[in-house]
């Protein structure tokens, strides 16, 4: 049987980001297929979050091109890129603490790719809270929720715009072992629903179980690409991690 044609969701072509003399992202080129789950891994400070910021439009590359479904989005700005269908979570939970879970999720539906208003938005936000396992938390203020539940709300908020590409930057960080399994199961579900995802993560067993493919960064540059098993057995990758005092 012929395999279905691969649709390219995202392309990064020779993307570089300099901060003064520091090259945080160094000539990164890669592709992400629709429905693919791509892991972006590497030691602390290797440029993963900067790469995510470049994709989401929070930062403008010094050089290189980023395109989403064949359309160049380089330097378009975060709200523009969000409208092209890219949604993200942040390395540190960023939410509106005095607002309710429902309001936080609904906020994600206002700025993104699929826009909803009023009752439609409200109903959709309720459905998303259920989808992430929080059916009864709609009216709870964020500050009253446990950490894993705040993470669930953050994920629901990112999903509220029906993103074409979801960027998860260490979404699993800080969870205890029980919560971690809950978190992995939630992402597994998104994966089985056909979401296209880039995951930045230090939790390697999550990378192994969730990702189709991995790109490894070190000092801003790509040092390996392949299946999780391939890259995690790569000598250069092992050296990059062991050479880093925080890894």
Ligand X SMILES: Nc1ncnc2c1ncn2[C@@H]1O[C@H](COP(=O)(O)OP(=O)(O)OP(=O)(O)O)[C@@H](O)[C@H]1O
- Angle (CA) 21-25-29 rounded to 5° is 140
Q: Is 14 in contact with 29 (CB distance < 8 Å)?
A: yes
Minimum separation from the CB atom of position 194 to ligand X (A): 27
- Count other Cβ atoms within 10 Å, centred on residue 169: 21
**With respect to Mg ion, which residue has the nearer C-beta, 50 or 100?**
50
- Name the binder of 27 from ligand X, Mg ion, none, CB < 5-8 A by kind: none
Distance of CA 190 to the CA centre of its chain: 12
Contact between 56 and Mg ion (CB under 5 A)? Answer: no
Instruction: With both helix axes pointing from N to C terminus, report the angle between 101-111 and 118-131 in degrees, rounded to the nearest 10.
Output: 120
Query: Exactly one of 36, 49, 145, 155 binds ligand X (CB under 6 A); which one?
Result: 49
**With respect to Mg ion, which residue has the nearer C-beta, 40 or 210?**
40
Contact between 147 and ligand X (CB under 6 A)? Answer: no
Query: Exactly one of 9, 24, 106, 128 binds ligand X (CB under 6 A); which one?
Result: 24
In the region spanning residues 63 to 92, those forming contacts with ligand X, defined by CB under 6 A, are 91
- Name the binder of 161 from ligand X, Mg ion, none, CB < 5-8 A by kind: none
Query: Exactly one of 32, 46, 68, 154 binds ligand X (CB under 6 A); which one?
Result: 46
Query: Exactly one of 15, 39, 50, 84 binds ligand X (CB under 6 A); which one?
Result: 50
Burial 66-101 (b: 16+ CB within 10 A, else e): bbbeeeebbebeeeebbbbbbbbbbeebebeeeebb
Contact between 174 and ligand X (CB under 6 A)? Answer: no
Contact between 22 and ligand X (CB under 6 A)? Answer: yes
Contact between 100 and ligand X (CB under 6 A)? Answer: no
Token digits for 57?
């439009």
Contact between 19 and ligand X (CB under 6 A)? Answer: yes
Per CB under 5 A, the segment of 66-74, 86-94, 127-135, 137-145 that binds Mg ion is 86-94
**With respect to ligand X, which residue has the nearer C-beta, 27 or 141?**
27
Q: Is 196 in contact with 36 (CB distance < 8 Å)?
A: yes
Query: How many Å apart are CA 230 and CA 228, to the nearest integer?
Result: 5
Count, in order, helices (H) and strands (E) of the chain: 9, 10
**Interface residue list for Mg ion (CB under 5 A):** 48-49, 91
């Amino acid at each position: 049987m012929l395999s279905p044609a691969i649709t390219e969701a995202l392309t990064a072509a020779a993307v570089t980001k300099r901060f003064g003399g520091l090259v945080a992202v160094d000539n990164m080129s890669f592709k992400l297929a629709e429905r693919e789950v791509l892991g972006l891994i590497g030691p602390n400070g290797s440029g993963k979050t900067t790469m995510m910021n470049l994709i989401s439009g929070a930062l403008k590359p010094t050089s290189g091109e980023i395109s989403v479904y064949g359309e160049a989005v380089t330097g378009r700005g975060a709200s523009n890129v969000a409208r092209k269908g890219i949604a993200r979570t942040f390395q540190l939970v960023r939410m509106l603490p005095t607002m309710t879970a429902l309001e936080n999720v609904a906020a994600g539906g206002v700025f993104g790719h699929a826009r909803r208003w009023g009752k439609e938005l409200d109903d959709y936000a309720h459905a998303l809270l259920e989808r992430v396992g929080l059916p009864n938390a709609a009216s709870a203020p964020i500050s009253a929720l446990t950490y894993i539940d705040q993470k669930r709300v953050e994920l629901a908020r990112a999903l509220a715009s029906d993103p074409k590409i979801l960027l998860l930057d260490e979404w699993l960080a800080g969870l205890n072992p029980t919560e971690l399994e809950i978190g992995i199961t939630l992402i597994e579900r998104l994966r089985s629903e056909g979401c296209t995802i880039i995951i930045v993560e230090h939790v390697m067993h999550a990378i192994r179980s969730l990702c189709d493919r991995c790109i490894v960064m070190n000092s801003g540059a790509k040092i390996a690409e392949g299946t999780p098993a391939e890259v995690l057995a790569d000598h250069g990758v092992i050296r990059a991690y062991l050479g880093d005092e925080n890894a």
